[in-house]
Amino acid sequence: MFRKILVANRGEIAIRIIRACKELGINTVAVYSKADANALHTRLADEAICIGPAETMQSYRNIPNVISAADVTGADALHPGYGFLAEDGHFVEMCESIGLTFIGPTAANLTTLGDKAKTRAAMKANGIPVVPGSEGEVADESIAQEIATKIGYPVIIKACSGGGGRGLRVAYRPSELKKAFAAAQHEGAAVNGREGVYIERYVAEPRHIEVQILVDHEGHVIFLGERECSIQRKYQKLIEETPSPAVNKKMRKELGHIATLAVQAVGYLNAGTIEFLLDQDKNFYFMELNPRIQVEHPITEMVTGVDIVKEQIRIAAGLSSQYRQKDIEVRGHSFECRITAECPERFVPSPGQINQWHQPGGFGVRVDSGVDNESMVPPHYDALVAKLIVHGDSREAAITKMQCALDEFVVEGIKTTIPLHKRVFRDPDFQNGRLSTKFLERFISTTS
């Protein structure tokens, strides 16, 4: 097992990893930018080291600075969390070159999965259902027009190197394709300098279903159930739950089989998430394989009892997962609300000093937070300040528990999305599980 792990992230995920390390008896190193000099994760780690100014490219995404921090502190492993350098294959190669173990997938995995068009082709070749679309990267707009005409409008143009909702544009008719094509190219280039895109038929009002898996060095694939992530705005998730109210036992078994084929198709290692669209006819279509820990992993932990971060560390250390598929049983129901420092009406960022922070508690309530009463929320990073997670014996019980927890949550000094979450959990359609990726857009337009 590792002696010291550098946590190459900030906020709630850094703290989540630090706590898992402490339970495993592993020392931790926090990294921070000058804007995060007094951040909570720096106070909880055994050591903390500054890696640069507030701008992410000069700190959290500065590969030489992060590698140097690991070297100076004597860390023998590094956990990237999510975002920043978590999916950078070159960064993994740099870690490996100095004998620093990267806790996550291999560099080869990240290189393969970094090109979403090639990943899509690999999945299709292995019998995994994909939405009709281009066979690979689309070179120019004229070819895009031909493909769109063939598969039928509306279409969605996706950046090969996109992620987190970036590099996605929908064209509902031929006159919109040129602008959508250029926008997807531009956003893809902003991510990693590549303008490549591919095209798929746009699935109207699908549900967003994802599957959590673990794969160890011995090739054991452990399927930890599915998550419903349909409550989202501009492809950014706001509320997640597990199990999905739309997935029955037969569908869940099929998802587990497809997910296993997907990770085997690319020789995947460690924790990962396979995302699917579920159309109105109950057909699943592969979207992407996310090669990292997900923001929403806690709800899976709540219903399975599996500590996914600890399993990541064990697998990276060369140990077998301590679980087999027969050990996995989903119990009850869990929700997660992503609490962000944003105006709940217009989603405008609300950075600043937190004057009061009281988070809820009680049986079946968990809060993964990166802040406290002393925290300043800087304007430079993602607006997520906390994840409120609940577990109940049933979906109805979990909804009630979340409503109580949201009522108890008090944040002053900054605006948060807590009022919006309260309204969603009171909505009859939400309570009855009538969800799609258009739910929140429609909800906001009719209730604001």
Looking at per-residue confidence, does 363 or 135 come out higher?
363
* pLDDT at residue 136 in the model: 85
pLDDT, tens only, 415-446: 999 999 999 999 999 999 999 999 999 999 98
Does residue 108 carry a pLDDT above 80?
A: yes
Does residue 67 carry a pLDDT above 70?
A: yes
If one counts every other C-beta atom within 10 angstroms of the C-beta of residue 417, the result is 25
Backbone angles phi, psi at 436, to 5 degrees: -160, 175
Residue-range domains of the chain with CATH: 4-103 (3.40.50.20), 132-201 (3.30.1490.20), 207-447 (3.30.470.20)
pLDDT, tens only, 301-325: 999 999 999 999 999 999 999 999 9
Q: Which of 263, 421, 409, 394 is nearest to 332 (CA)?
A: 394
Specify whether the backbone of 186 is left (phi greater than 0), alpha (psi in -120 to 50) or beta. Answer: alpha
Does residue 448 carry a pLDDT above 80?
A: no
pLDDT, tens only, 199-222: 999 999 999 999 999 999 999 999
* pLDDT at residue 394 in the model: 99
Backbone angles phi, psi at 266, to 5 degrees: -115, 10
Is residue 131 within 8 Å of 114, Cβ to Cβ?
no
Query: Can you tell me the mean pLDDT for 246-253?
Result: 97
Percent share of the chain, pLDDT over 70: 98
Altogether, the residues listed in the chain come to a count of 448
**pLDDT grade for 92, boundaries at 50, 70 and 90:** very high
**pLDDT grade for 193, boundaries at 50, 70 and 90:** low
Beta bridge partner(s), residue 376: 353
* pLDDT at residue 167 in the model: 86
Does residue 162 carry a pLDDT above 90?
A: no
Backbone angles phi, psi at 120, to 5 degrees: -60, -45
* pLDDT at residue 354 in the model: 98
Does residue 128 carry a pLDDT above 90?
A: yes
Is residue 111 within 8 Å of 194, Cβ to Cβ?
no
According to DSSP, residue 47 is labeled E
* pLDDT at residue 40 in the model: 97
**pLDDT grade for 268, boundaries at 50, 70 and 90:** very high
Q: Contacts for 292-295 with beta carbons within 8 Å, 24 or more apart?
A: 292/80, 292/81, 292/82, 292/86, 292/87, 292/104, 292/105, 293/13, 293/81, 293/82, 293/86, 293/104, 294/82, 294/210, 294/212, 295/13, 295/82, 295/237, 295/338, 295/384, 295/387
Does residue 164 carry a pLDDT above 70?
A: no
* pLDDT at residue 187 in the model: 87
**pLDDT grade for 130, boundaries at 50, 70 and 90:** very high
Does residue 192 carry a pLDDT above 70?
A: no
- Is 395 noted as a catalytic residue in this protein? no
Catalytic residue among 16, 61, 201, 292: 292
* pLDDT at residue 189 in the model: 80
* pLDDT at residue 135 in the model: 86
Q: Which of 285, 19, 357 is nearest to 128 (CA)?
A: 285
Q: pTM of the full predicted structure?
A: 0.94
- DSSP per-residue letters across 130-185: B-SB-SS-B-SHHHHHHHHHHH-SSEEEEEEEEETTEEEEEESSHHHHHHHHHHHH
Does residue 191 carry a pLDDT above 70?
A: no
* pLDDT at residue 357 in the model: 98
Token code pair at residue 209: 């279903």
* pLDDT at residue 392 in the model: 99
Does residue 112 carry a pLDDT above 80?
A: yes
Query: How many Å apart are CA 66 and CA 377, to the nearest integer?
Result: 22
Per the listing, tokens 């994840």 go with 387
Per the listing, tokens 């960064």 go with 91
Question: What integer best gives the mean pLDDT of the chain?
Answer: 96
